């Protein structure tokens, strides 16, 4: 799943995402691991909601404004 973030954002999240955009390789992966899981709620056309919890992954393209950069979301595996 790909995510784009639009304002308004929490200052802490904005800062963490900006750090991810600036780093590459192992440094970017370590920075991503420090970010707490996030919850995304998707509304479908039928009025149903799907809740997805996952970890933000470093973006492939790191240039441009935050709202233009796509981050991957690695879904949190549910405990069995």
Question: Using one digit for the tens of pLDDT, what is the confidence trace for 14-28?
Answer: 999 998 998 888 998
| Assigned domain for 23 exists | yes
Torsion-angle region of residue 64: left (phi > 0), alpha (psi -120 to 50) or beta?
left
Parent domain of 48? 2-75
Q: How many angstroms separate the most distant Cα atoms in the chain? A: 41
Instruction: Report whether 59 contacts 2 (CB < 8 A).
Output: no
| Assigned domain for 14 exists | yes
Instruction: Report whether 41 contacts 33 (CB < 8 A).
Output: no
Tens of pLDDT, residue by residue over 42-70, are 888 888 888 999 999 999 887 888 889 99
| Assigned domain for 80 exists | no
Confidence of residue 77 (pLDDT cuts 50, 70, 90): confident
Total domain count, the chain: 1
């Amino acid at each position: 799943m790909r995510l784009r973030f639009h304002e308004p954002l929490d200052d802490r999240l904005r800062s963490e995402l900006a750090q991810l955009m600036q780093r590459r390789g192992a440094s970017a992966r370590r920075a991503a691991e420090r970010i707490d899981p996030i919850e995304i709620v998707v509304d479908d056309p039928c009025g149903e909601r799907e809740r997805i919890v996952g970890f933000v992954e470093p973006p492939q393209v790191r240039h441009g404004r935050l709202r233009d950069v796509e981050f991957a979301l690695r879904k949190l595996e549910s405990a069995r």
